[in-house]
Amino acid sequence: MKRAGWLIVAALMGPILVSCATKKTPEEIEGERIAAEFRPGTPIAPLRFDRGHYPDLLAPTSFAVWVDEAVTEARRAAAAEQEDPVTPQMNTDLARVARDFVCIECYLDSAFADMSIAYDVVGCRGVSMYLSTPEDNKIAPVQVAIGTELKEEPRDALKLFGRKSLLVFPRRDLWLSTPLLDEGAPAMRLVVEGYDSAFYFEWAAAGPTEPVRVPAEPDVAKMLRTGLREFYNDVRRISHVFD
């Protein structure tokens, strides 16, 4: 992981070292447009309990990853180290996804006393998830891809279940062609509601001139839990993203 960590730092800092005197490509111009929208200060968000009857419905090991450019570059560096480089088609498709959508990976864990509910909730059954803005606007995902791999671990007389889901949100209002995630927002929340309880993951905004943060080692491990090729395959399951 240490070697991967140095590769990740290089991947994150590399674009900063590129000369600004070169002519901007369409991709760079598009990247500036995305940068003008809401940008999280760090991609990893821990679980927080908001309200309701069951604060133990979800386990505190749950977390969410805002798959931004920093995460993608970190995964690209890790793939190169593992000699699993991305193909030109993958790069093209991933650039299109980043242009039009915000992707959030949600890792839900539950060791709830009712194990049937714990099993269901990590698979997003009986819960709703949406982005919440500071103005209390609710943005529903256009697609949710439930992970096929189930984590199951003993917890005394109970079991802890865990599953990853990929949530895809539109970047812009299709009718007004305006950003849905305002760059002036101080934070964004991913809300998880169900079973008379509500939780959230929150990302504070990065400042307009704030440099890319080098992630701490625990966050690097969370960022790399899903590899770039696995993320690509998850997105490919949502066929209309590439239409």
Q: pLDDT tens for residues 209-218?
A: 776 666 778 8
What Å distances lie between residue 38 and 35, 41, 66, 85, 106, CA to CA?
7, 10, 11, 29, 19
- In the chain, what are the domain boundaries? 39-242
Torsion angle in degrees (nearest 10) through CA of 196, 123, 232, 221: 80
Whether pTM exceeds 0.85: no
Q: pLDDT tens for residues 5-60?
A: 444 444 444 443 333 334 444 444 444 455 468 889 899 999 999 999 999 999 99
Helix (H, G, I), strand (E, B) or coil at 97: helix
Q: pLDDT tens for residues 188-242?
A: 999 999 999 999 999 998 877 776 666 778 888 999 999 999 999 999 887 665 5
Amino acid at 216: A
- Compute and round to an integer the Cα radius of gyration of the chain: 18
- Angle ∠(211,25,224) on CA atoms, nearest 5: 45
Helix (H, G, I), strand (E, B) or coil at 222: helix
- CB of 118 closer than 8 Å to CB of 110: yes
